[in-house]
Each structure stands twice: as structure tokens, then as C-alpha cells.
Amino acid sequence: MSLLGKLFGSGKNKDKAPSPQEGIQRLREVEEMLMKKSDFLEKKIEQELTTAKKMGTKNKRAALAALKRKKRFEKQLQQIDGTLTTIEFQREALENASTNTEVLKVMGVAAKALKGAHNNLDVDKVHDLMDEVAEQQEIANEISDAISNPVGFGQDQDEDDLLAELEELEQEEIDEQLIGVPTPSAADTLPSVPTDEISVPSTSKSKAKAQEDDDELKELEMWAS
């Protein structure tokens, strides 16, 4: 099959557009064929260049003919490179189109499935259901709060009584701290007793001396009589 036949298909199938996958496959086949031809031309260019170098000093005409063939092969190679670039762009475009087609198909199926699921749902019923769920959740929270509070505790307690009890506890703590402080003993508080002899005041000595003189005088009077 010719290159144009590979690209565009035979005349029998010209009325039927190929699918993106078929177009991609055909472009890959042509791309492979052109790459093989490109490799062949590169080898031919190398051969003609070798011939021109070899004949350059021996046969100038043969060397020029080899260079002409080399130029012709290079031009063909350049054309093939351009064609390969175009085919690559077209193949990538077909691959993207194929991907987009598959994505759109899946999205269409998902949209239909979503529509079918929504057809079985009533928006008003959904709202009613959510309201009922919220109400039941509120009831459950109230039940949990009621269960978690001890019965009869905290409801009848007077705040003043609680404050008084707190003050008593604080005072007990202060008393316990004071008990731990050492208190001075009675011996430490009383003054020390002096150990020196107590001196008699001078007035007492004078009185004692006067009494002694009176006694001696009485004895003399008794002896004289």
C-alpha cells in the first residue's frame, strides 16, 4: 500500500471515517516506515561522502558525482524529517482527541448515573431527614448531660455555705503551718538568777551598828548599878 493509502486509507473505505485509534495506528506505521528510510538515507550520505573523499585526488568527476548524490540524499532526508515532525504532531493531536473522547464518554455515563440516583431522592424529604437527625442528636446530647450529672449534687448547695467551708479549710491549713513553728520555753523566757552574793545596803549596816551600841550601853549600865 502506498504512503498516501496508509495515511488516508483505500478508496473503498473513504466514505467511512476512521476512528482515532485507527488513525493513530496508521500514523505510527507510516512514521516507522519513514524512520527506516531516514536511516537508509543517512547511510547513503555517509557512503557518498566516503567515495568523494576517496576519489578526490584520483577521479575528480567521480568525486563530484558522489557529492551531488550526497546533496540529493540530504534533501530527501530533510523532507522526511519535516514529514516525521508533522506526523508526530498529528498523532499527538489524535491521541489527545481520543483521550478527550473517552473522558467525555465516562463523564456522560457518570452524569446519567448521578441523575438516576437523584431521581430516587426527594429534596424535601432529605431536608426533613436532616432536621430529624439534628433533633435526635440534640435529644441525645441532653440525655448524656443528664446522665453525667450526679443526682442531687450541685443543685441545692448554697454558695455562702461553700465559701464558709472553704474559709474553714484555709484556716485549718494556716493552723497546721503555725504548729510546725518552734515556740520559746518557760526557761528561755524567765530572767536568769544572779549567782553573786547579795550586797546589803549601807542603811541596813548603819541600823545594825546602832543596835549593837545600844546593847553595849545597857550592859555597862547594869554593871555600874
Cβ–Cβ under 8 Å, residues 44 and 73 = yes
The DSSP secondary structure of 47-94, one letter per residue, reads HHHHHHHHHTTT-HHHHHHHHHHHHHHHHHHHHHHHHHHHHHHHHHHH
Residue with cell 455515563: 109
pLDDT category of residue 154 using cuts at 50, 70 and 90: low
Name the grid cell of 171.
Answer: 484556716
- 17-71 pLDDT tens trace: 778 788 888 989 999 999 999 999 999 999 999 988 888 778 888 889 999 999 9
Q: What are phi and psi of 2, to 5 degrees?
A: -70, 170
77 vs 195, higher pLDDT: 77
Find the angle CA(47)-CA(52)-CA(54) to the nearest 5 degrees.
Answer: 95
Residue position matching grid coordinates 512514521: 31
Least confident range from 14-23, 80-89, 105-114: namely 14-23
**Do residues 20 and 45 touch, judged by C-beta distance below 8 A?**
no
Rounded-to-integer distance, Cα 45 and Cα 79, Å: 15
pLDDT at 20: 77
Residues in the chain: 225
**Tell me, what DSSP letter sits at residue 13?**
G
What span, in angstroms and rounded, lies between the C-alpha atoms of 197 and 193?
Answer: 11
Rg of the chain's alpha carbons, rounded to an integer? 65
Express as a percent the part of the chain with pLDDT over 70.
71
**Where exactly are the structural domains of the chain?**
3-106
Quick one: 3-106 is in which CATH superfamily? ESAT-6-like (1.10.287.1060)
